[in-house]
Amino acid sequence: MISKKTIYAFKALIHLAGTPSGQPVLIADLARDENIPKKFLEFILLSLRKGGLLQSRVGKGGGYTLALPANKITIGSIVRILEGDIAPVQCLSTTNYARCEECRDEATCGIRLTMTDVNVALATVLDGLTLADMVERSEAARNTLQNVVDYSI
């Protein structure tokens, strides 16, 4: 289950992706519009910036903008930055590897050998989806619904 922190990040990124490019958005505005606790959002945006997904400018006229086009920002990269990892077991993590406490032998651990498949499946789907997908799918759904409404009038 994805944490609230990551959901907040998605919301903020979607908001930024929908802002005319170059126009910085203030943390305060983002927090208000998306209903995210401001201080918590600060921390999230900072993580995303350090992760290379956002750019910021301080001072008047400052704020946050995407550092890349939305279709270059994968959902996987967002999750990795905020959840620390994607792997279902830490002994499978590349970014955050740790041996499992009581693992007698990693090479023959049935849990690990099976979770590898899960890890690959997750990484594949998460790295195949981007912020642009989030925006586009939402728009597509809105349009479809709009048509339904139009017809029904």
Partner DNA sequence: TGTTATGTCTATAGAATTAATAGACTAAAA
Partner DNA sequence: TTTTAGTCTATTAATTCTATAGACATAACA
- Interface residues with DNA (CB under 7 A)? 3-5, 8, 24-28, 37-40, 42-43, 45-46, 49-50, 56-64
Which one, 50 or 72, has the nearer CB to DNA?
50
Place of tokens 């017809």: 151
Place of tokens 């519009």: 33
Hey, what are 22's tokens?
A: 């170059």
Hey, what are 104's tokens?
A: 């007698």
**Does the footprint of its own copies cover residue 142 (CB under 8 A)?**
yes
**Does the footprint of its own copies cover residue 152 (CB under 8 A)?**
no
**Does the footprint of its own copies cover residue 33 (CB under 8 A)?**
no
67-86 residues in contact with its own copies (CB under 8 A) are 75, 83, 85
Hey, what are 50's tokens?
A: 């350090």
Nearest-approach distance from CB 23 to its own copies, in angstroms: 20
Hey, what are 75's tokens?
A: 């959902």
Q: What b/e readout covers 88-111, taking b as 16+ CB neighbours within 10 angstroms?
A: bbebbbeeeeeeeeeeeeeeeeee
**Does the footprint of its own copies cover residue 1 (CB under 8 A)?**
yes
Q: For residues 76 and 44, what is the distance between their CA atoms, to the nearest angstrom? A: 16
Residues lying near its own copies in the complex (CB under 8 A): 1-2, 7, 10-11, 14, 35, 75, 83, 85, 87-90, 100, 102, 107-111, 113-115, 117-118, 121-122, 124-126, 129, 133-135, 137-138, 141-142, 145
